[in-house]
A and B are shown apart, each in its own frame.
Chain A
């Protein structure tokens, strides 16, 4: 091999290495955007709306299940990070567009940590969902450190479910509403506890292990 070829080969390999490093760093350090709900007025209840979709439908992982957050301006943002004021009543609405199934652990079928220990499913209060009946549970919205857990009733898997986010209410959906009071300042992890990452070991890889899909942070500020 001539010197020119060696130089060219070395340059190409070096460039590939640099590119791989950049991609790796961007993926590792890249964080989804934060949707800010702190401008709705101090002391006033904060309304926040999320949607859960079976397939995000675009981007680098179109088949991944994902949450989205609706900004105060009404725009759907692909993120799981939102910022809210401390010691404030949070009124949460989650529109679930995904199907459901039995839970690996039915303990997650209980509503805990919400105001009154209840949530509303399409307007009807509930405390427990029997995941072995009906459409089962699709996902949960859980903040373990403050004891919040709300199961999201699933849609019929045979229905014509929404295939790409953001979904609209013209697709089959379930509306779950609940409230809780935000704790003191800090970053609180929240996530879905249903191992819903199809195709990954125990269903907890991929979107279940990637910020911006099925888990994120509730940033609480003063």
Chain B
């Protein structure tokens, strides 16, 4: 170390240390490795892994989510490779046993303005691009599949939209089909090649309707209609889960749904409408939100000893005398 202090450079003090000429050589070597690996791995990922990235391609919103993820990964991979390649290269080439430079102190430990500026500029450009890309993808071309509230910013261009109401309650989802008499069922069946408008609400606490393979996720809030759109592109089954911790049986609040052909859907919907007609007559008229009416634990929001009968559409109708 005394030698190093003599001429002010740790490089000169260490046997086999790199010289400025070597540094240039190292940089070109690092860049070459990085370019080759990025050029090989990025297309490999996009072509072979990309199509299998969840949530899949069952709907346009799922396709959008998959595309967005793949774009993010393709951009992030070279950054990751750059860091990892540099770290591995440093460990291999400049480790102490190979006579590497003094790791702490001296000019090598000081900042390099060019590298710092380059890093800040590069990462800023990437982050700003991704912010713009993400914002664009939220609304174009098919929406994001997320709940947009009761007044959606993005609405589909399709002229035929099938509305389906999703009703969350502790601890299951039920589904109403207003265009088929308003029947309500545990089953979620949707037709292929159709734009679906999910009207999501709750009868009690906050739930979250997450139709995973459909690329749809929307909070289910009591007294609120949360709208989410998607267009089906593929036949198959999908999973619905509650994605908001809603009580002890939250983990069991799931079911599966089906995307079927349009004719098969029509058959299912009309037969289910007929099968459930008797009970459908007992349901409240279809509305975007429902306020449970009967008071107390059996019906309404508890405690509710002030105004047990709401003025809006009700689930539960009248409280009978002597009822539980």
Contacts and interface: CB of A to CB of B under 8 A. Distances in A.
Contacts of A100: 323-324
A135 interface: yes
A195 interface: yes
B315 A157 contact: no
Given A195-B204, A195-B298, A215-B249, A104 B315 contact: yes
A198 interface: yes
A144 B174 contact: no
Interface residues of A, number: 51
Contacts of B203: 104-105
A157 B203 CA distance: 25
A144 B324 contact: no
Contacts of B279: 106-107, 109-110, 128
Q: Interface centre among A107, A128, A138, by most B CB within 10 Å? A: A107
Contacts of B185: 107
A201 interface: yes
Interface stretch (A5-13, A39-47, A80-88, A186-194): A186-194
Contacts of A157: 322-324
Contacts of B174: 105, 107
A156 B323 CA distance: 7
Nearest to B317: A132
Contacts of B255: 144
B188 to A, nearest CB: 13
Interface in B135-186: 167, 169-172, 174, 184-186
A196 interface: yes
B186 A144 contact: yes
A147 B203 CA distance: 20
A135 B249 contact: no
Contacts of B302: 199-203
B170 A202 contact: yes
B320 interface: yes
Contact of A106 (B171, B205, B315, B319): B315
B148 to A, nearest CB: 25
Interface string B238-278: 00000000011100100100000000000000000000101
Nearest to B282: A106
Contacts of A138: 324
Interface stretch (B45-53, B80-88, B289-297): B289-297
B299 interface: yes
B323 A104 contact: no
Contacts of A156: 322
Given A99-B323, A144-B172, A144-B252, A109 B247 contact: no
Interface in B212-255: 247-249, 252, 255
B283 interface: yes
B29 interface: no
Nearest to A193: B172
A104 B292 contact: yes
A71 to B, nearest CB: 26
A209 B247 contact: yes
Interface of B: 167, 169-172, 174, 184-186, 203-205, 247-249, 252, 255, 276, 278-279, 282-284, 292-294, 296-302, 315-324
Interface of A: 54, 98-107, 109-110, 112, 127-128, 130-136, 138, 144-145, 147, 149, 154, 156-158, 189, 191, 193-205, 208-210, 215
26 contacts: A98-B324, A101-B298, A101-B299, A102-B294, A102-B298, A102-B318, A103-B298, A103-B315, A104-B204, A104-B299, A105-B169, A105-B174, A106-B283, A107-B279, A107-B283, A131-B282, A131-B316, A132-B317, A135-B323, A136-B323, A144-B172, A144-B255, A189-B252, A202-B170, A202-B204, A202-B205
